Structure 1
Amino acid sequence: MRGYVMAAAALNRTQERKANTSNGGFMLLLSLVILAALIWMVLDLIRYENGINGLGTVVLSIVFVLQLCGFYTLQPNEGAAVTLFGNYKGTDRTPGLRWMLPWYTRKKVSLRVRNVTGEKLKVNDKRGNPIEIAAVVVWRVTDTAQALFDVDQYQTFVDIQIETAVREIASHFSYDHSEHDEPTLRGDADQVSTLLREKLQERVSVAGVVVDETKLSHLAYAPEIASAMLRRQQAEAVLSARRFIVQGAVEMVEHALQQLSERDVVQLDDERRATMVSNLLVVLCGDRDAQPVVNAGSLYQ
Structure 2
Amino acid sequence: MNSTSTLQNALYYTFTRDKWSKLRKAVPLTLSETELTRLRGMNEQLSLAEVTDIYLPLSRLLNLIVGAKQQRNLVLEQFLDQKPDQSPYIISISGSVAVGKSTTARILQALLQHWPEHPKVDLVTTDGFLYPLADLKRKGLMKRKGFPESYDVKMLSQFISAVKAGQKEVLAPLYSHITYDRRHDEHQPVRQPDILILEGLNVLQTGMDTLVHSTAPFVSDFVDFSIYVDAPEPLLKQWYMQRFLQFRQSAFINPDSYFNHYSNLTDDEANAIAGNIWDTINAPNLKLNIQPTRERAHLILQKGPNHTMEKVLLQK
Shorter-chain TM-score category?
under 0.3
Q: TM-score, normalised by structure 2?
A: 0.21
Higher normalized contact order (CA 8 Å, seq sep 6+, divided by chain length): 2
Q: TM-score, normalised by structure 1?
A: 0.21
Which of structures 1 and 2 has the bigger CA Rg? 1
